[in-house]
Amino acid sequence: MRPVRVLLGVVLTSTLAFSQDVQLRQEAVRLMEKAEAVSTSPHLPNLERTSAFRVFGTESSVEEGVFTRVVIQGTGRRDETTFGKYHSVEVWTDNGVASTETSELEPPEVRMLRGLTPIWRGHFDHEDVIHAINSQNVNGRSARCIEFDTIAGQKTDNNEICVDAANGTLLRGKVGQNLIENSEFFAFAGALLPAKISYSRAGVLQMTISQSMAELTDATPNVLAAPAGAQMYQYCKTYRRPFGKLMPQPKPGTGGTDTDVIVRGIIAEDGRIHDAVVQSSDRRDLDQEALNLIQQWLFTPALCDGRLNRTEASFTLHFQGR
């Protein structure tokens, strides 16, 4: 069966943690709540969203792709992605999912695109310590910028999130080594969304996105027709996620630097991880070690309606003192 995609995330709250000014944190949370509110439509019509994206690789290489989503409210949606040799069409209706894909695993760049569109959303949780809110000019817009640290164990990231002082939209988010910048906002169905999005990591531009959204007024039944040669998959009425049985981490070193390598792959029916790829890494010299080690991991496979089910997931390998 086609893998169920598992998003391993964290529910973020406004819980107060560490020593910080209560009113300062309250204002930071208010600014973030407003940013999310102004970019969330109160009532979406039938729509078509298009995201044309460019990925910047090593040695000045550039690869282009396109993602489209057609939504018929209350009926279903159709997603199509083209990026290099990867091409997929997914049609979601009450009857299940009709899918054609050139591979089971999305390229990391496509997964990143999905996380950045239609807009990246940020929240504060108990690991975030607010230090200041100041005024800045961000790409010609007057902005209120929240300076904060994220403290996780022995690791501390210095972060900043800037929102438009006039309309409240999220202009820039710097979290760790990741920098997301939104610009040229347009109005759609009562929400403000960015027409331009850029993503950089460690000061290096990784991706730019041009985004548009339009109301679909001439939707016909064949918009959600299953594509030729598609495989049909039913929704799980009951689902049990995979559970780890053997998940060894890299041997610690004697250096003073800790780093994580995030690997994505398919937990197959045998409980092993197949088709593993590096999703995120700041130390390319550790990537192959991470991929070799992930082959040793073993899970109790996922179950869909009592049947073994292939599951897509992300895994973090911690390199301590390396």
Domain ranges of the chain: 11-231, 236-319
Q: Which fold has domain 11-231?
A: outer membrane lipoprotein receptor (LolB), chain A (2.50.20)
pLDDT reported for residue 221? 65
Average pLDDT over residues 202-219: 93
What's the pLDDT at 7? Answer: 34
Quick one: pLDDT band at residue 125, thresholds 50, 70, 90?
A: confident
Lowest mean pLDDT among 20-24, 95-99, 183-187: 20-24
Q: What are the tens digits of pLDDT across the range 242-269?
A: 999 999 999 999 887 888 999 999 999 9
CA nearest to 236, candidates 298, 310, 299, 300: 310
What pTM does this model have? 0.84
| 132-162 pLDDT per residue, tens | 999 999 999 999 999 999 887 767 889 999 9
Mean pLDDT on 101-123: 91
d(CA 29, CA 243): 35
The pLDDT, as a whole number, for residue 68 is 98
What digits encode the pLDDT tens for the residues 15-67?
A: 344 456 889 999 999 999 999 999 999 999 999 999 999 999 877 789 999 99
Distance, in Å, from the CA atom of 267 to the CA atom of 68, rounded to the nearest integer, reads 28
pLDDT of residue 1: 42
Whole-Å CA distances, 64 to 82, 106, 121 = 9, 15, 24
Name the superfamily (CATH) of residues 236-319. TonB (3.30.2420.10)
